[in-house]
Structure 1
Amino acid sequence: MTAILKVFILHLFIMLQTVGAYAKGKGSPGVYDVTEYGAEPSNDDNKDAFMAAWHAACGATAGNATLLIPDGTFTVSTTEFSGPCKNSRSPLVVVVNGILHPCANSDRHRHPGDDDVWITFSGVSNLLITGTGTLDGRGSNQISNAKSKTTTTLELDGVANATVRGLTFLNSRGFHLNIHRSSHVAAEGLHIGAPAASRNTDGVHVGLSSHVTVADSTIGTGDDCVSIGPGCSGVVVSGVVCGPGHGISVGSLGREEGEDDVRGLVVRNCTVMGTTNGLRIKTWPGSPPSRAFNITFRDIVMDNVSNPIIIDQHYCPHSHCSHIAKVVLGVRFDRVNLSCGKEQCDTKFSNVEGKPTVVAEEEASPGAVVSPERARH
Structure 2
Amino acid sequence: MAIKSYVGALLLLLSFSSTIKAQVFQIENYSVTGGGIPDITQSLLDAWKKACASTTSPKVLIPGGTFTLSEVVLEGPCKAHVEFEVHARLLAPPELSRFKTDGWVVFHNIDGLTMLGGTFDGQGKMAWAQNDCIKNKNCRMLPMNLRFNVVSNAIIHDVTSVDSKYFHVTVLGCKNVTLQHFHVNAPGNSVNTDGIHIGRSLGVNVLDTDIKTGDDCVSLGDGSRQVTVKGLTCGPGHGISVGSLGKYDNEEPVSGVFVTNCTINGATNGVRIKTWPASKIGIATDMHFEDIQMNNVFNPVLIDQGYCPWNQCQAQIPSLVKISNVSFKRIRGTSATKVAVKIACSKRIPCEGIEIADINLVYKGPDGPATSECSNVRPLISGMQNPRACAKIVS
TM category (shorter chain) comes to 0.7 to 0.9
Alpha-carbon separation, structure 1, partners of 2:276 and 2:3: 35
CA-based RMSD of the aligned residues comes to 2.7
Does the 8 Å CA contact 1:202/1:226 hold for their aligned counterparts? yes
Q: Among residues 59, 66, 91, which one is paired with 1:66 in the alignment? A: 59
Alpha-carbon separation, structure 1, partners of 2:14 and 2:121: 25
The alignment partner of 1:124 has SS state of strand
- Report Cα offsets for 1:279-336 as digits up to 9, x if no partner: 1111112222111111000000101001111211111223432612221111100100
Does the 8 Å CA contact 1:156/1:179 hold for their aligned counterparts? yes
- Give 1:25's aligned residue: none
- Report Cα offsets for 1:237-272 as digits up to 9, x if no partner: 000000001000000111110000101101000000
The alignment partner of 2:371 has SS state of coil
- 1:331/1:343 Cα in 2 relative to 1: closer, same or farther (>3 Å)? closer
Alpha-carbon separation, structure 2, partners of 1:65 and 1:77: 23
- 1:123/1:255 Cα in 2 relative to 1: closer, same or farther (>3 Å)? same
Is 1:141 aligned to residue 126 of structure 2? yes
**1:48 to partner: Cα distance:** 1.0
- 1:356/1:339 Cα in 2 relative to 1: closer, same or farther (>3 Å)? closer
Superposition TM-score, scaled by structure 1 size: 0.83
The alignment partner of 2:42 has SS state of helix
Does the 8 Å CA contact 2:167/2:193 hold for their aligned counterparts? yes
Is 1:108 aligned to residue 98 of structure 2? yes
Alpha-carbon separation, structure 1, partners of 2:27 and 2:96: 21
Q: Report the AA paired with residue 127 of structure 1.
A: L
Q: Among residues 45, 66, 71, which one is paired with 1:51 in the alignment? A: 45
- 1:356/1:347 Cα in 2 relative to 1: closer, same or farther (>3 Å)? closer
The alignment partner of 1:57 has SS state of helix
Identity rate of aligned residues, in percent? 35
Superposed, 1:77-226 pairs within 5 Å as 77-87=70-80, 91-105=81-95, 107-110=97-100, 116-131=102-117, 133-147=118-132, 149-226=141-218
- Give 1:338's aligned residue: 333
Moved over 3 A (4+): 3-9, 15-21, 37-45, 141-146, 340-343, 350-357
* Higher-strand-fraction structure: 2
- Give 1:375's aligned residue: none
- Give 1:347's aligned residue: 370
- Give 1:328's aligned residue: 323
**1:356 to partner: Cα distance:** 4.1
Alpha-carbon separation, structure 1, partners of 2:27 and 2:32: 8
Superposition TM-score, scaled by structure 2 size: 0.80
- Report Cα offsets for 1:223-243 as digits up to 9, x if no partner: 000000101110000000000
Alpha-carbon separation, structure 1, partners of 2:17 and 2:171: 22
Does the 8 Å CA contact 1:150/1:200 hold for their aligned counterparts? no
- Give 1:368's aligned residue: none
Q: Report the AA paired with residue 82 of structure 1.
A: E
- Give 1:370's aligned residue: none
The alignment partner of 1:49 has SS state of helix
**1:340 to partner: Cα distance:** 4.4
Alpha-carbon separation, structure 2, partners of 1:105 and 1:229: 28
- Give 2:27's aligned residue: 34
- Give 1:365's aligned residue: none
- 1:208/1:307 Cα in 2 relative to 1: closer, same or farther (>3 Å)? same
Q: Report the AA paired with residue 123 of structure 1.
A: N
Alpha-carbon separation, structure 2, partners of 1:260 and 1:118: 27
**1:20 to partner: Cα distance:** 9.5
Is 1:244 aligned to residue 236 of structure 2? yes
Alpha-carbon separation, structure 2, partners of 1:86 and 1:12: 21
Does the 8 Å CA contact 2:363/2:370 hold for their aligned counterparts? no
- Give 1:363's aligned residue: none
Q: Report the AA paired with residue 58 of structure 1.
A: C
Does the 8 Å CA contact 1:18/1:93 hold for their aligned counterparts? no
- Give 2:388's aligned residue: none
Does the 8 Å CA contact 2:38/2:66 hold for their aligned counterparts? no
Gaps of 5+ in 1: 22-27, 361-377
- 1:14/1:39 Cα in 2 relative to 1: closer, same or farther (>3 Å)? farther
Is 1:263 aligned to residue 255 of structure 2? yes
Alpha-carbon separation, structure 1, partners of 2:374 and 2:248: 33
The alignment partner of 2:270 has SS state of strand
Alpha-carbon separation, structure 1, partners of 2:119 and 2:17: 17
Alpha-carbon separation, structure 1, partners of 2:250 and 2:206: 26
- 1:137/1:20 Cα in 2 relative to 1: closer, same or farther (>3 Å)? farther
Gaps of 5+ in 2: 133-139, 337-361, 383-395
Aligned residues: 341
Alpha-carbon separation, structure 2, partners of 1:224 and 1:6: 26
- 1:264/1:316 Cα in 2 relative to 1: closer, same or farther (>3 Å)? same
